[in-house]
A and B are shown apart, each in its own frame.
Chain A
Amino acid sequence: DTEVTQTPKHLVMGMTNKKSLKCEQHMGHRAMYWYKQKAKKPPELMFVYSYEKLSINESVPSRFSPECPNSSLLNLHLHALQPEDSALYLCASSRDTGNEQFFGPGTRLTVL
């Protein structure tokens, strides 16, 4: 298995909802990442997990809460989001933080 999977593919939520994005990889990678991407812009890093520990938080608002339950799974919990949070959310993984990163297909999030 050489891919990163993300669910759901699309998500529409209201500003008072609580939802979660899920990411999974079975490549034995020990680093996992969340990125946010607006249309026609490059991805922007949100969080880095290394060996299941949060190593980088790019000053992301607390309404985004990451979780790494084990070395294969990465979640992003969403609560009280704003319409401007609508974007493509990408998960990535790499063997270690110094190695090339492989991206999942993304979750298209719309906040109403």
Chain B
Amino acid sequence: GQQLNQSPQSMFIQEGEDVSMNCTSSSIFNTWLWYKQDPGEGPVLLIALYKAGELTSNGRLTAQFGITRKDSFLNISASIPSDVGIYFCAENAGGTSYGKLTFGQGTILTVHP
């Protein structure tokens, strides 16, 4: 089945530093989604990308849909303690599996004040 490789698995950074994480796939996709999940809560959608090459920002977050349609990255600038959580990339399968989200394994972010 489809697999998403997300890296890094975890990051320990100081407050104020920038963060970068990425996802790669062996298949071509039409949608890349980035979610953040706090402990005990549901994932919250951060950014949705629908076009190859698309670069989208949401406050301190920036994400890009790779030109090959097989990868995406998420950057967080000037990290703050509330950025702590697990970040997941996800893609939406097409065809008969439309609606099936496949997730990366997640990046656990820890921010030290």
Binding site for B on A (CB under 8 A): 4, 6, 31, 33, 40-43, 45, 48, 50, 55-56, 58, 88, 90, 92, 94, 97-98, 100-106, 108
Contacting residues of chain B (71-113) with chain A, CB-CB under 8 angstroms: 86, 88, 90, 92, 94, 97-101, 103-106, 108
Are B45 and A102 within 8 A (Cβ)?
Answer: yes
**Which of B45, B48, B100, B106 sits near A42, CB closer than 8 Å?**
B106
Binding site for A on B (CB under 8 A): 31, 33, 35, 40-45, 48, 86, 88, 90, 92, 94, 97-101, 103-106, 108
A97 in contact with B98 given A42-B106, A43-B103 (CB within 8 Å)? yes
Pair count A-B, CB < 8 A = 63
A108 in contact with B88 given A42-B104, A45-B100 (CB within 8 Å)? no
Chain A residues whose CB sits within 8 angstroms of the CB of B86 once the complex forms: 40
Alpha-carbon distance between A41 and B99 when the two chains are bound, in angstroms: 20
Are B43 and A103 within 8 A (Cβ)?
Answer: yes
**Which of A6, A33, A41, A103 sits near B44, CB closer than 8 Å?**
A103
Of B35, B43, B92, B104, chain A has the most CB atoms within 10 Å of the CB of: B43
